[in-house]
Structure 1
């Protein structure tokens, strides 16, 4: 392949990516956390092919992912849901800077807030836990 052909192919790919709409989940911390939680919940329920660990690998920074595994084992609970059960619904709201609060609502009633922090450079989740 000549340099000219490679340059054309690279330019065509760049132009196509610029023309394609950017999903909201790729541009905001709130959208990214919502996209993660949606996929993770579907994986836990077995409604998509991916396993929960695969979803975590795509969205969560590796060091945090390892800490979540330790937390889950120590607490005998799901490390993302921070509970033994699966939430019925959820909502996200900004919490200042790169932080997001995700409110989980349970089938049995009640709710729980979980704080997320998203790294702006690549929108990877770098912290997850109870709100301060």
Structure 2
């Protein structure tokens, strides 16, 4: 039988799930990150706050409204922090799909469009 950590290809002893303490740790960190991501997406409404897109979770990103107030990137190292810290950081963000996120950074959405869309789909002040 193979180690339960998806990247490891080593065999394990009978009645064991992991080949080493390191693989066990990586397995549970990965699981926690996935759980926190799901919880984070639910907390922010599960859909892009500009266009409403909600089909693929991997196509959604957390965008900080005020970059100067950013303590950490939620999608980067945030998923290993406590839920209270993640939630505090999420309160500084809006949830955007990949397309809207790129348009926001490219400044292709007018201020009026942003205000209208954020009013329709959720919270937040204009960018």
TM-score (norm 2): 0.28
Bigger strand fraction: 1
TM-score (norm 1): 0.27
